[in-house]
A and B are shown apart, each in its own frame.
Chain A
């Protein structure tokens, strides 16, 4: 970079009075104020704001439609096309989880079960959302692609117990995922 010597501009006599530039500034701020009051702040459309400034007024307006594909929200378990739990309770996510938010109690599938070949399914799967840091490691490490970070972000509760997501709740949030790998799927 070449050195650029910035010279102070020499002011004309009326610029020495400051008043014209102060008036100019007042006009600019006034324009902004008027546009904000009329709900036409520039940029409010792109930022999905109320128009009174570019601020989004949160509970009334939400950014949900604009969330990117890779958004990391609440982690949840998913079932596959056959309505089967994908999780085989290998506990990799439990081991990788940096804040140790995940607790899994593995359970066995009985030999009568149509998917007995899989052998295992979680008996209990708890994610403590007070501990969760939304890092997405569980999703990354899962060999069965059974756990995903969803786009939900407004996890609230009034007690510690409420903030623990149990298995049913996790499946409820996660829903069904189609396609992808089904390692032990006989139909494949």
Chain B
């Protein structure tokens, strides 16, 4: 690796992490508050702006409160950083870092755009173009549970501890559904490199919108069923993984005061929030990348507008793709926020049941369904009908039986 490519990587790391995702984190807190406000018929933060009246002007500029995140950040930095006497200090200090760092590390495999040409060099708009994209994200993202669990444990008080334990159990339950639900997707693509996955979708249609390229064959129509199930399970599991609202039991304000970050103050508290929002952004970026064609413009426009005759990207394609990717991701972040202020929090047993009894079985069955649909053309009609379909039905029956028996066993009903 020469110096130039090292430099380019460094620029990409700093650019994407600190110039793109950090502001996005800041402004998703702002978006959260504003969207929550308009959903609840309120106004939300709309005042913080340039205080020109301090300098003798007649009016302040408020820019719809867009300076609010900066003010919040400043507040976080200048507040007293209190470490209670009863905490286990080393872990207490480590925990916020453990939540933030994995969220930012997972960024490195997300393809932000196709490629741009800098000084005659094609630069891919992804920090690390590795061949195990989604697996890497799952592996690293699940590390963030350590942060939350450690925070809960090291705080050495009741409610944070509950929060930490809940987070731990929740992560384990939904990690499985998350991993299983993406397998049909990977079977369709046949590869794990996220850049290739997006390029494939640009050429052959987005996974949930295969309207161009190969078009809608019968197989593609049928595949939409398992992929739709995958999408629902995957999205819901991402909600659970990022501790977002319907599943935000670890920080559950109504039951656990503040959950795992009850004992935290100032910037350490802010770090937990940054980690949470960064995880949300990575989650939406992953959903967009896998199911909605990542940076691709879609509808065959990539090929028509942005490619040369010999299949190379034009010089400005990267920028447009980057914009498209950001737009899609922001749309998904808004969706996350919208869901948060719509769906009430699950009860803990409901959460566990949904994870283990519903999603686990559904995702497992889904794999068989997708496999059968993909394999059908190769197997031929006879084998498909006489071996494939009965196997699928058997799997469905087993899964249904497991679900029912789990349903029957829960004699203890919470009152």
Contacts and interface: CB of A to CB of B under 8 A. Distances in A.
Contacts of B397: none
A28 B35 CA distance: 14
B342 A53 contact: no
Contact of A29 (B44, B46, B342): B342
Interface stretch (A30-38, A82-90, A156-164, A173-181): A30-38
A53 B343 contact: no
B366 to A, nearest CB: 15
A3 B329 CA distance: 52
B39 interface: yes
Nearest to A23: B342
B43 interface: yes
B41 A53 contact: yes
Given A22-B343, A25-B343, A32 B338 contact: no
Contacts of B341: 29
Interface in B339-376: 339, 341-343
Contacts of B343: 22, 25
A145 interface: no
A29 B338 contact: yes
Contacts of A32: 38-41
A50 B46 CA distance: 13
Given A28-B342, A29-B341, 9 more contacts: A25-B342, A26-B338, A26-B339, A29-B39, A32-B40, A32-B41, A37-B38, A52-B38, A54-B42
Contacts of A43: 41
Contacts of A30: 338
B338 A53 contact: no
Interface of A: 19, 22, 25-26, 28-30, 32-33, 36-37, 41-43, 50, 52-55, 57
B37 interface: yes
24 contacts: A19-B232, A22-B342, A25-B342, A26-B338, A32-B38, A32-B40, A32-B41, A33-B35, A33-B38, A33-B338, A36-B37, A36-B38, A36-B41, A41-B41, A42-B41, A43-B41, A50-B43, A53-B37, A53-B38, A53-B40, A53-B41, A53-B44, A54-B42, A55-B41
Contacts of B44: 53
What is the interface of chain A mostly: helix, strand, loop, or mixed?
Answer: helix
Chain B interface category by residue count: 10 to 19
A130 to B, nearest CB: 25
With most chain A CB atoms within 10 A of its CB, the pick from B38, B41, B43, B339 is B41
A36 B37 CA distance: 9
Nearest to B344: A25
A22 B232 CA distance: 12
B16 to A, nearest CB: 30
Contacts of B46: 57
B58 to A, nearest CB: 13
Contacts of B35: 33
Interface in B314-344: 338-339, 341-343
Contact of A26 (B40, B43, B342): B342
Interface in B28-82: 35, 37-44, 46
Nearest 8 A/B pairs, CB to CB: A36-B38, A53-B42, A53-B41, A29-B342, A25-B342, A55-B43, A33-B38, A29-B39
Contacts of A57: 43, 46
A24 to B, nearest CB: 9
B406 to A, nearest CB: 14
A56 to B, nearest CB: 9
A19 B35 CA distance: 22
B56 to A, nearest CB: 16
Nearest to A21: B343
Contacts of A54: 41-42
With most chain A CB atoms within 10 A of its CB, the pick from B40, B43, B44 is B43
A80 B311 CA distance: 92
A179 B153 CA distance: 73
Contacts of B42: 53-55
A163 B38 CA distance: 38
A26 B39 CA distance: 10
Interface in B127-141: none
A52 B65 CA distance: 14
Contacts of A53: 37-38, 40-44
A52 B38 CA distance: 7
A36 B46 CA distance: 14
Contacts of A37: 38
Nearest to A56: B43
A11 B41 CA distance: 31
Contacts of B38: 32-33, 36-37, 52-53
B256 to A, nearest CB: 24
A170 B294 CA distance: 69
A32 B35 CA distance: 10
A188 B44 CA distance: 58
Interface string B271-308: 00000000000000000000000000000000000000
Contacts of B43: 50, 52-53, 55, 57
Contacts of B41: 32, 36, 41-43, 53-55
B359 to A, nearest CB: 12
